[in-house]
Homo-oligomer: A and B are copies of this chain.
Amino acid sequence: MATKNQASGGVSRQVLADHVYEALLVALMDGRLEAGTPVSIDGMARELDVSPTPVREALARLEATGMVRRMALRGYRVAPLFTPDELADLMDARLVIEPANAFMACKHAGQELTGQLEQAIEDLKAAPRGPSFAEFRAYWEADERFHRLIAESAANQFLLSAYNALGGQVQRFRFFGGLGVTDADFAIAEHTEILKAFEAGDPELARQKMIDHIEGVKQRSQHDSEVRS
């Protein structure tokens, strides 16, 4: 496996646990680690050519994201995929948090933010839409960036933590990874509406447009769930 020692700064010494964490995350996102698969500490250590200790630390951190689950004395397993009901619950939770984020972010919004949001939308338009993980990843990254920019611009560390706690954002990636992009045109249009509200400096409108967007995602994801099953 190609070594990524080129991290800037010339810091020769890096924390191995961080590399392991990244490697596991990529493996989870790429679907190499399927839902329910046990993640052996020793086995992963052999595979990544490190000792079990950093693997243990990386898994302890991953557990907080919900990507893996730990059973005492029985090791770790990849968390199961979402059921359609859980997906609906995730959208309900997003409906609680993200409109509030949009409202607050809009109050602090400036040129810089709207520019970055616009860039995220452009990237969304440019992203390929095929079903392969590599293709989907670019799309997902632009989508995630749009929402994260808003969450961060709300300037409230606790709301940001709450947003991050919806680790399902990543799970969602896994869910649709094999399905491809099905709602790109809708998402682009809805994101644009949100951006307009930001440019107009209308927090209440931004909140409403975010609600509209997530409601749309919810409905479309439920439809996709039926297709999948």
Chain A residues in the interface with B (C-beta under 8 A) = 13, 15, 18, 53, 56-57, 60-61, 63-64, 66, 72-73, 86, 89-90, 92-94, 96-97, 100, 156-159, 161-168
Q: Which of B61, B86, B97, B163 is close to A60, meaning CB atoms less than 8 Å apart?
A: B61
With contacts A96-B97, A166-B158 taken as known, whether A15 is within 8 angstroms of B72 at the C-beta atoms is yes
- Which 9 interchain pairs have the tightest Cβ spacing? A64-B64, A93-B158, A165-B165, A162-B162, A60-B60, A161-B165, A96-B100, A89-B156, A93-B159
CA–CA, A22 to B98, complex, Å?
33
10 contacts between A and B (CB under 8 A): A53-B53, A60-B61, A61-B64, A66-B161, A89-B157, A97-B97, A97-B162, A158-B168, A161-B165, A164-B165
**Number of copies of this chain that the complex holds:** 2
Q: Chain B residues with Cβ under 8 A from A53's Cβ?
A: 53, 56
The dominant DSSP class at the A interface is helix
The residue in chain B whose Cβ has the minimal distance to the Cβ of A166 is B158
Given contacts A60-B61, A97-B162, A162-B166, 8 further A-B contacts (CB under 8 A): A13-B73, A61-B63, A89-B158, A90-B158, A93-B162, A96-B97, A158-B168, A162-B165
The residue in chain B whose Cβ has the minimal distance to the Cβ of A13 is B73
